[in-house]
Amino acid sequence: GIQVEQSPPDLILQEGANSTLRCNFSDSVNNLQWFHQNPWGQLINLFYIPSGTKQNGRLSATTVATERYSLLYISSSQTTDSGVYFCAPTLSGSARQLTFGSGTQLTVLP
């Protein structure tokens, strides 16, 4: 099956700093989502981004499907951004199930 690698595995930032999280995947995909898992375990949709760039407030994401990677940018980080960020593509031709990466654990310090 598709391999999904996220980097870095852990990231510690001072409040106000910017960061870039990366997701590499091994096969053609027809969908990709980014999630934030909060401390209560909930998976919060951030982006549905099979290709191109999207922005939502301080967050933006870019997927370059032809080169098999996606990036999540967090600007002016806040303590509430802490948690685990997962990238999850859908393999082309599948029943649309998501394959999750191992995540990036982000800690934003006040």
Partner 1 sequence: EPEVTQTPSHQVTQMGQEVILRCVPISNHLYFYWYRQILGQKVEFLVSFYNNEISEKSEIFDDQFSVERPDGSNFTLKIRSTKLEDSAMYFCASTQGTQFFGPGTRLTVL
Residues interacting with partner 1, by CB under 8 A? 31, 33, 35, 41-43, 45, 48, 86, 88, 94-103
Question: Could you tell me the two tokens for 109?
Answer: 């310090």
Comparing CB distances to partner 1, the nearer of 2 and 17 is 2
Distance CA 42, CA 25 (A): 24
Handedness of CA 18, 53, 101, 6 (dihedral sign): negative
Q: Measured from the CB of residue 44, what is the shortest distance to partner 1 in angstroms?
A: 8
Q: Torsion angle, CA of 73/59/61/48, rounded to 10 degrees?
A: 150
98: DSSP letter: B
Comparing CB distances to partner 1, the nearer of 18 and 48 is 48
Q: Measured from the CB of residue 43, what is the shortest distance to partner 1 in angstroms?
A: 4
Comparing CB distances to partner 1, the nearer of 25 and 35 is 35
